[in-house]
Structure 1
Amino acid sequence: MSNRRLYAEPETQGPDAEDAPEPTGEAGRRRPRWKRIVLITLLVLALVGVGGVAAGAFYLHSVESDIDRVQAFADVPPAERPQVVAKDASNILILGSDSRDPEGTTGSRTDTIILAHLPKGRSSAQLISIPRDTWVPVPRSKDGNHGGRDAKINAAYAWGGVPLMVQTTEKFTGVRIDNVMIIDFAGFKEIIDALGGVDIAVEKDFTSIHPPFRSFHKGVQRMDGETALDYSRQRKQFADGDFARIRHQQQVIKAILDKAVSGGIVTDPGRLNSFVKAASGSVSVDEGMSLVGMATDLRNLRSRNLTFMTSPTKGTGRVGSESVVFAATDEARSFYDAVRRDDVPRILAAGK
């Protein structure tokens, strides 16, 4: 099993994540990736559902051996981590960027931050998007050169890699992170094409700001991988900006899950193999994460049991020259306390 560290500390750092330099070393060659806990979960469910736990586990062992590992918790001070309250629940931090985003300027950002809560019994899951511009306290980086002040939450990754991102998220939410996944959203293109396209309900007519300037029309639209990826990037045509981008990404994730479960892929060995290769090719996980264990835990989970929500906010504003998102402090505290305690009814109520 590979054990490659995907982060090397930047030599210099500007005041914001968008201004961060490219990571050095292997991180510069292998850019951080974003979101495939959901896809790996689906892969796990499909394999277990078709061949049983033993056969699925055997196949997953071979997939797991090709997945890169990141030291997510090595530099997180144990004394500063939240205590585990609900021992049977699990919280997975999903980080990612779109390495082929036409607007992307650096590989050191985390464009997407999701806290996936898996309750006791694993009969459901709540996927909580944290806007990347959320203004939070960022702990000081291990080298002492960055952090120790308020900043956008995605600055933590540029300043201290995955460990500082874990530490910052735990400080903000009060929720202890059990595992981490890093995914390249650009890889969704191959996944969606392996599924034969997905159906997305477009909220209004608009035109993409990126070549070839596709037109999207209100209503359900069948999208191939390139089109869905383009759709998931759009935000400037919407009044709520980055919140629209979050909403579009959530739509694409759910559409992938729905299509993979209902589209017959699990009974077609060729399509299943293409899906497996696409799903595993651009995901990294922490050293302790086991896909086989996840397969057993989540074998009964389906997309209808997933709830997508966004961390409570009170809107956008400016801090100096930076455009930021302000957390709704009281609501966020209550919301994440429900997550910490695995109080699913309270999570769902607070997340509306």
Structure 2
Amino acid sequence: MEPTFGAAGGPEPTDGTPPNAPRPRRRRWGRIALISLLVLVLLGAGGALAGGLYLRSVESDIERVDAFEGVPEESRPQPVTTGATNIMILGSDSRDPERTSGSRTDTIILAHLPKDRKSAQLISIPRDTWVSVPKSKDGNNGGRDAKVNAAYAWGGVPLMVQTVESFTGVRVDHVALIDFAGFKEIIDALGGIEVNSEKSFTSIHPPFRTFKQGVQKLDGEAALDYSRQRKQFADGDFARIRHQQQVIRAIIDKASSGGLLTNPGKLNNFLKATSNSVSVDKELSLLDMATQMRGVRGGNMTFLTSPTKGTGRVGSESVVFADKPRVKTFYEAVRQDSVSEIVSLGQKK
């Protein structure tokens, strides 16, 4: 029996647990969230003594997942350039009031780190994008078109790797899995962040906060609430993607400007604020990546969205249709590590 799809757009397996999905662990030290990963890696903590020491101390304790188990090498895209790195970031929000399944991946980001390591492009793939999902390892699911996030429910991380590689033609070098609910503690450890809201709106979740148009400071709970909102916007889930991107950038900007990386006490609190946040593949070295990315700052990170033609329906499901010609051209630029073309193509509407 195939899984059904909930109203929020996520697959709901009959047993509630996807194959090969990592089990949550409660060890507090040695667990860092996506934002810790981005700040320490993309902002180059490897270049600072304190950051390097912290990375060494947590490196061996981070939960690891076999992201590429059973992924047939012969079907994987081969890199056409050397030196660039592509990291697939899979995010969920375990405390989202609308969450109906424990196996959904709400956020899919392909982070492209160019060969020269002078910038980073973070490409959001809408979770409802209608794609071809390869057959799962057990042969019971997949082998048909579905929403991209169905792959995680049907075959865990390896099937997500296969699906994203098949859709983009880009080889995934590393994988990170994160829980966006950890944003609250991270943001509070930073003393709050500032976001620029495109309009005034009221949250659909208790306590029904009102977010004013313009720049405002948010604590962790408010920022998490802000990043979940989509139903008050005409473009729905695309608004949620924008809000998440705003929050990620705001955290990185605050961390880089607040002396975090040079203050061992602040850094310690920042890392300890993330108790249930990230797993990475077995080969990803945070220390090596941080050393390579020490020149990147928030200003040369670009947030993009995979090209789409908008939303529609397939049977009873609300889906996002990929703009296939633009998708092909866009991800070929990623494969070629052509940064200016990636940004130009990604910003076209």
What is the TM-score of this pair, normalised by structure 1?
0.91
Structure-1 residue corresponding to 2:80: 85
Distance in 1 (CA, whole Å) between partners of 2:96 and 2:248 is: 17
Partner of 2:291: 296
- How far off is 1:276 after superposition? 1.7
Q: Closer, same or farther in 2 for the Cα pair 1:285/1:278, shift >3 Å?
A: same
The whole-number CA distance in structure 2 between the counterparts of 1:27 and 1:171 is 21
Unaligned runs of 5+ in 1: 1-11
Q: Secondary structure at the match of 2:132?
A: strand
Aligned residue in 2 for 1:50 = 48
Shift of 1:271: 1.7
Q: Deviations over 1:157-179 (max 9, x none)?
A: 00000000000000000000000
Give the structure 1 partner of residue 94 of structure 2: 99
Question: Is residue 14 from structure 1 mapped to residue 3 from structure 2 by the alignment?
Answer: yes
Is 1:188 matched with 2:186? no
Does 2:27 match 1:30?
no
Structure 2 residue 215 is the aligned partner of structure 1 residue 215: no
Q: CA deviation at 1:106?
A: 1.0
Any residues of structure 2 matched to 1:1-352 within 5 Å, and which? 13-16=2-5, 17-21=10-14, 22-23=16-17, 27=21, 30=24, 36-44=33-41, 45=43, 47-51=45-49, 56-279=51-274, 281-352=276-347
Residue 286 of structure 2 aligns to which amino acid in structure 1?
L
- Whole-angstrom CA distance in 2 between matches of 1:109 and 1:38: 20
Runs of 4+ in 1 over 6 A off after TM superposition: none
AA partner of residue 19 (structure 1)? E
Code of the residue aligned with 1:14 in structure 2: it is: P
**In 1, distance between residues paired with 2:204 and 2:275?**
30
Q: SS at the partner of 1:307? A: strand
Q: Note the C-alpha offset of 1:49.
A: 4.2
1:43-81 Cα deviation digits (max 9, x unpaired): 243633432xxx543321211222110010011100000
Matched-pair identity in % = 67
CA drift of 1:38 comes to 4.8
Q: Comparing 191-200 with 36-45, which one deviates more in the overlay?
A: 36-45
Relative contact order (C-alpha < 8 Å, sep 6+): which is higher?
A: 2
Q: Is the 8 A contact 1:131 1:325 kept in 2?
A: yes
CA contact (8 A) 1:123 1:305 kept: yes
- SS of the residue corresponding to residue 212 of structure 1 reads coil
CA shift, 1:265, in A, is 2.2
Gaps of 5+ in 2: 26-31
SS of alignment partner, residue 351 of structure 1: helix
Rounded to whole Å, the distance in 1 between the matches of 2:273 and 2:336 is 35
Please tell me whether the aligned partners of residues 28 and 107 of structure 1 are also in contact (alpha carbons under 8 angstroms): no
Matched residues in 2 for 1:335 and 1:136: separation? 16
Contact 1:67 1:281 in 2 (8 A): no
TM-score (norm 2): 0.92
